[in-house]
Amino acid sequence: MGLDRFAPPHSLGSSHSDTRMIREAYYHDSHYTPLVNTAFDYWTDLETRSGRRLLQTTGALTIGQPESFGFSSSLQSIVENGSEFEGLASEELHNRYPVFTPDPQTFAIYEHRAGVLSPEHCIETLLEEAEAAGANLRFNEPMINWRAFRGGIEIQTENATYQTRRLAVATGAWTTGLFPDLPISLEVERTVQHWFEPATVDATPHFAPNVCPPWVWEYGPKSTWYGFPKTTRGIKVGMHVQQGRLTQIECLDRNVAPHEESTMRQVLARFMPSASGPTIESSVCMYTKTPDEDFILDRHPDCSEIVIFAGGSGHAFKFALVLGELVSDLLTDQDPAHNIQHFRLTRF
Q: Does 227 bind ligand FAD (CB under 6 A)?
A: no
- Alpha-carbon distance of 281 to 189, in angstroms, equals 20
- Nearest one of 176, 259, 260, 266 to 219, comparing CA atoms: 266
Residue 80, classed as helix, strand or coil, is: helix
Taken in order 150, 152, 156, 161, the sign of the CA dihedral is negative
Return the residue of 3, 60, 239, 267 that touches ligand FAD, per CB under 6 A.
3
Q: Does 70 bind ligand FAD (CB under 6 A)?
A: no
- Alpha-carbon distance of 18 to 236, in angstroms, equals 9
- Binding region for ligand FAD (CB under 6 A) out of 92-100, 129-137, 172-180, 263-271: 172-180
Closest contact distance (angstroms) between CB of 89 and ligand FAD is 25
Closest contact distance (angstroms) between CB of 17 and ligand FAD is 7
Please, which residues bridge with residue 226 across strands?
216, 238
φ, ψ of residue 42 to 5 degrees: the values are: -70, -40
Q: How big is the site for ligand FAD, counted in residues (CB under 6 A)? A: 30
Return the residue of 5, 113, 206, 289 that touches ligand FAD, per CB under 6 A.
5
Please, which residues bridge with residue 245 across strands?
190
Binding mask 267-296 for ligand FAD (x = CB under 6 A): ------------------xxx---------
Q: Would you give the DSSP letter of residue 81?
A: T
Q: Would you give the DSSP letter of residue 249?
A: G
- Nearest one of 72, 58, 26 to 313, comparing CA atoms: 26
| Contacts to ligand FAD from residues 11-50, by CB under 6 A | 13-15, 20-21
- Binding region for ligand FAD (CB under 6 A) out of 40-48, 94-102, 204-212, 307-315: 307-315
Q: Are 230 and 209 in contact (CB under 8 A)?
A: yes
- Alpha-carbon distance of 298 to 182, in angstroms, equals 11
Q: Does 113 bind ligand FAD (CB under 6 A)?
A: no
Return the residue of 193, 224, 243, 274 that touches ligand FAD, per CB under 6 A.
193
Q: Which residues 6+ apart lie within 8 Å of 91 measured at CB?
A: 104
Closest contact distance (angstroms) between CB of 343 and ligand FAD is 13
- Binding region for ligand FAD (CB under 6 A) out of 5-13, 93-101, 105-113, 262-270: 5-13
Mode of pairing for the β-strands spanning 303-310 and 167-169? parallel
Closest contact distance (angstroms) between CB of 204 and ligand FAD is 23
Residue closer to ligand FAD, measured from CB, 141 or 203: 141
Which residues of the shown chain bind ligand FAD in the complex (CB under 6 A)? 3-6, 8, 13-15, 20-21, 142-143, 170-174, 178, 191, 193, 238, 285-287, 312, 314-318
